[in-house]
Amino acid sequence: MNGSKHDRTGGRAEPVTVRFAFTPAAAYVRAARLVAADVAAHAGVATGLLDEVRQAVGEACTRAVLRHRDRGMDDLVRVEFSIGDRFVAKITDNAQDLRARSSGRIGAGIGGGEPRVGDSDTMEEDTLSEEITLIVLSGLVEDLVVTGPDANGGTTVSMSWPLPGSGSATDH
Residue 117 is predicted with a pLDDT of 40
Residue 141 is predicted with a pLDDT of 87
pTM above 0.75, yes or no: no
Q: Are 39 and 18 in contact (CB under 8 A)?
A: yes
Average pLDDT on 47-72 reads 93
Reply yes or no: is the peptide bond before residue 162 cis, omega within 30 of 0. Answer: no
- Percentage of the residues of the chain whose pLDDT score is greater than 70: 68
Average pLDDT on 19-47 reads 96
Average pLDDT, the chain: 76
Q: Are 144 and 138 in contact (CB under 8 A)?
A: yes
Residue 131 is predicted with a pLDDT of 78
Residue ranges and CATH numbers for the domains of the chain are: 17-162 (3.30.565.10)
Helix (H, G, I), strand (E, B) or coil at 31: helix
Residue 14 is predicted with a pLDDT of 73
Residue 121 is predicted with a pLDDT of 47
Helices (H), 6-157: 29-43, 50-70, 98-103, 119-140
d(CA 12, CA 162): 16
**Per-residue pLDDT tens digits for 85-141:** 999 999 999 987 654 443 332 222 223 333 334 444 444 555 567 778 888 888 888
pLDDT band at 42 (very low <50, low <70, confident <90, very high): very high
Higher pLDDT, 111 or 80: 80
Q: Are 7 and 165 in contact (CB under 8 A)?
A: yes
